[in-house]
Structure 1
Amino acid sequence: MTKTVFFDLDGTLTDSKKGILNGLKYSFKAMNVPTPDDKTLQLFIGPPLNQTVQKYSEIQDPDQVQAFMAHFHDYYGETGWQENAVFPGIMPMLADLKAAGYGLAIATAKPEMFAKKISTRFGFDQYMTGLFAATDDEMTRTQKDEILAYGLARMPEKQLANIVMVGDRANDIAGGLVNHVHAVGVLYGFGAKAELVQAGAEVLADSVTDLHRKLLDWQV
């Protein structure tokens, strides 16, 4: 039996707020469309970008959505992905979990090219057995349940009771539950407690320290 943990990236392993918000503001300006306030922009972090653009802005036409995403990728690919920081305590947690024999992986709705850059930059890849993300064009495999299913098929552990999805947004929790694995919500990221509870999170972690303890004790 190998306990396996899939981690979301933005808001779970890293604080990516600065780079994403800067990228969004750049994109709205490039599109000559009113920019939502920062509180609304924070809601963009986590779910697929093509969905949040239509949900939280005036941009509705599919071609305009694609143009917006192209601007975002221009900024994020050059600068935004580097405006990122690992949450304190994450690296010791990953080291302890790996030393305890856990299988670790990233499951993110971020395009694969960006996820790989970030994983390499911060050294996540030394702990991860797999990295599973959206396709680079964000047209297929964009939903967390699809990404997690893709990852589950490629990780060695197949007993669902031994697998957990950890994330800070409702789509992370829903993705775990759809795939019949445990779902843990973290409260130090970008999602509210009510969002995670409503999505069906089985366990909540108040901090990285709390998450570390609960995963090692397998309180999931």
Structure 2
Amino acid sequence: MKKHLIFDLDGTLIDSAPSILHCFGLAFSTTHTPLKTELNNDVIGPPLMEALRRLSGSDDPALLHTLAAAFKQHYDTSGYLQSVVFDGVPAMLEQLQAAGYALYIATNKRFDPTEKIVAHLGWQSLFTGVYALDYFQPTLQCKADMVGQMVTDLVLDAEACVYIGDRLEDGLAADAHQMDFILVTWGYAGDVSRMKAHWQRCAQVQALPGMIATLAGGAQ
């Protein structure tokens, strides 16, 4: 039986792209740093430093530190408040919790703004745990490591878990730990073309509980 549902955040539960892209733009403009690639949804999802390397075309630690500080100043004070919840997500989460599942967030977003977003949305009671790469010390390098650390620390049976996200990285993280994965396509859905045959695919928020119930082996 499936008992634990692990959710990605950006592109899965919330649309944070406009606010993140705006804050990236401010970070580059206020530091007078030229963008080397287009600001679009492709930079939503990877860890902050990876996104900044891509956008700046640089591996210079000093420059990346400056850009990261500028981004955090904008996003962590007000930008995160602009995150928009996808239609139907609150009711879906409440339905899953009422059905007896334990809900978790596992995101590449830094822990500080993630925690602020969860509090701003009033979701603290919905989630058993909220995790980010920098929640752990030392900071983890990828989602596969994060999911593995969660399984170890929380003593979870991977067969009782489902990971739910919108990116190829999410599915590969689930595969790394023999965990079922559902690729949702109501968000950014940038990696649909790279979907693996054994993954489930869900196009509508309202359909997710039924799909999870099927994986769990019965109606919830």
Q: Describe the SS at the equivalent of 1:29.
A: helix
Question: Which one-letter code corresponds to 1:190 in the other structure?
Answer: Y
Counterpart code for 2:171: I
Tell me, in whole angstroms, the C-alpha distance in 2 between the residues paired with 1:202 and 1:189.
17
Distance 2:18 2:172 in 1: 26
Alignment correspondent of 1:125: 124
The alignment status of 1:209 with 2:210, answered yes or no, reads no
Q: Which segments of 5 or more consecutive residues in structure 1 lack a partner in the other structure? A: none
RMSD: 2.4
Equivalent residue number for residue 135 of structure 1: 134
Identity %: 27
TM-score between both structures, scaled by the size of structure 1: 0.88
1:162 aligns with 2:163: no
Deviates more, 1:96-105 or 1:173-182: 173-182
Q: Structure 2, unaligned stretches of length 5 or more?
A: none
- Deviation (angstroms), 1:109: 1.0
**Change over 3 Å in CA distance of 1:153–1:136 after alignment to 2:** closer
User: Does the CA-based 8 Å contact 1:8-1:108 persist in structure 2?
Assistant: yes
Aligned counterpart, 2:4 = 4
User: More displaced, 119-128 or 102-111?
Assistant: 119-128
**Structure-2 residue corresponding to 1:14:** 14
Distance 1:96 1:155 in 2: 23
Task: Decide whether the 8 Å contact of 1:4 with 1:102 is kept in 2.
Answer: yes
Deviation at 1:139, TM superposition (A): 7.3
State how many pairs are aligned: 216
Distance in 1 separating the partners of 2:20 and 2:136: 17
Does structure 2 conserve the Cα–Cα contact (< 8 Å) formed by 1:7 and 1:105?
Answer: yes
Displacement of 1:7: 0.2
Q: TM-score, normalised by structure 2?
A: 0.88
Q: Distance in 2 between matches of 1:101 and 1:150?
A: 23
Shift of 1:42: 1.3
